[in-house]
């Protein structure tokens, strides 16, 4: 699925990830947006034991994605995007320039990491009333993001930026939201639906994001959903 953009310079930048990992997709999109060639190493999350590389490069969390630059690891997906922006962002910057806008983008990135993701997991792993409550909460979170986006093209305005990179991988789960809980995203969040289509027109995004059906099938297996 994922191909190295420039295998010849593999020693400089490496991204360790699993193709359908919502957190790792961010890194691969950011690298593409800023035109950074990288080697891609697949870490299959379906295998319980982490590889020697992951254990060595991220001994604290043993998680992916990991960006390896000149042999040194950077871990944590939002952290990696900030790093990519600081090292390779020249004409194009992913983070906004104004401190208040940056703080706002970081606030919502944290909201996605710690509210949307945990609620999404609850939604896919629970049943009955608990599932219904998680569904309601998930829609509430999505509506907050719908409001932040408003009628802008991208979260930061006219340009695709940090918060778009952070959230767009979650759109690969939108089909799953619909199938698993009947969430009609187009009706609930029309702005997000338009934004998703707009983002998917970008090469960086469409090369990285898996198809919603494929993603849902994989998560069904992963979460043991019948």
Least CB distance to a second copy at residue 88 (A): 10
- Determine which residue in the list 106, 122, 131, 202 makes contact with a second copy, applying CB under 8 A: 106
Beta-bridge partners for 73:
68
Query: Which is nearer to a second copy, 86 or 186 (by Cβ)?
Result: 86
Residue 7 interacting with a second copy (CB under 8 A):
no
Which of 108, 112, 115, 119 has its CA nearest to residue 181?
119
Compute how many residues bind a second copy; rule: CB under 8 A. Answer: 22
Beta-bridge partners for 14:
39, 68
CA distance 124 to 176: 9
- Determine which residue in the list 24, 65, 76, 161 makes contact with a second copy, applying CB under 8 A: 76
Residue 86 interacting with a second copy (CB under 8 A):
yes
Return the residues of window 189-218 that contact a second copy according to CB under 8 A.
none
Helix axes 174-181, 212-223, angle to 10 degrees: 60
Identify whether the C-beta of residue 167 lies closer than 8 Å to the C-beta of residue 210.
no
Q: Is the dihedral of CA 212, 154, 76, 25 positive or negative?
A: positive
Site string for a second copy, 175-194 (x = CB under 8 A): --------------------
Query: Which is nearer to a second copy, 71 or 128 (by Cβ)?
Result: 71
Least CB distance to a second copy at residue 75 (A): 6
Q: How many helices (H) and strands (E) does the chain have?
A: 12, 4
Residue 135 interacting with a second copy (CB under 8 A):
no
Give φ, ψ of 171 to 5 degrees. -65, -20
Identify whether the C-beta of residue 4 lies closer than 8 Å to the C-beta of residue 213.
no
Residue 103 interacting with a second copy (CB under 8 A):
yes
| Residues at the interface with a second copy (CB under 8 A) | 60, 69, 72, 74-76, 79-80, 82-83, 86-87, 99-100, 102-103, 106-107, 110-111, 115, 144
């Amino acid at each position: 699925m994922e191909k190295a953009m420039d295998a010849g310079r593999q020693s400089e930048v490496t991204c360790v990830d699993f193709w359908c990992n919502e957190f790792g997709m961010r890194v691969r999109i950011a690298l593409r947006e800023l035109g950074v060639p990288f080697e891609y190493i697949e870490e299959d999350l379906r295998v319980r034991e982490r590889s020697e590389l992951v254990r060595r490069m991220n001994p604290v969390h043993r998680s992916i994605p990991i960006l390896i630059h000149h042999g040194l690891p950077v871990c944590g997906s939002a952290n990696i995007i900030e790093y990519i922006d600081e090292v390779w962002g020249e004409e194009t910057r992913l983070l906004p320039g104004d401190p208040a806008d940056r703080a706002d983008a970081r606030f919502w990135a944290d909201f996605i990491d710690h509210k949307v993701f945990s609620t999404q997991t609850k939604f896919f792993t629970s049943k009955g009333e608990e599932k219904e409550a998680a569904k309601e909460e998930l829609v509430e979170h999505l509506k907050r993001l719908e409001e932040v986006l408003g009628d802008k093209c991208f979260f930061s305005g006219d340009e695709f930026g940090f918060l778009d990179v952070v959230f767009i991988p979650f759109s690969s789960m939108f089909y799953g939201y619909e199938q698993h809980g009947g969430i009609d995203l187009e009706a609930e969040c029309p702005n997000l639906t338009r934004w998703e289509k707009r983002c998917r027109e970008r090469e960086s995004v469409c090369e990285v994001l898996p198809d919603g059906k494929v993603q849902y099938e994989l998560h069904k297996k992963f979460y043991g959903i019948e």
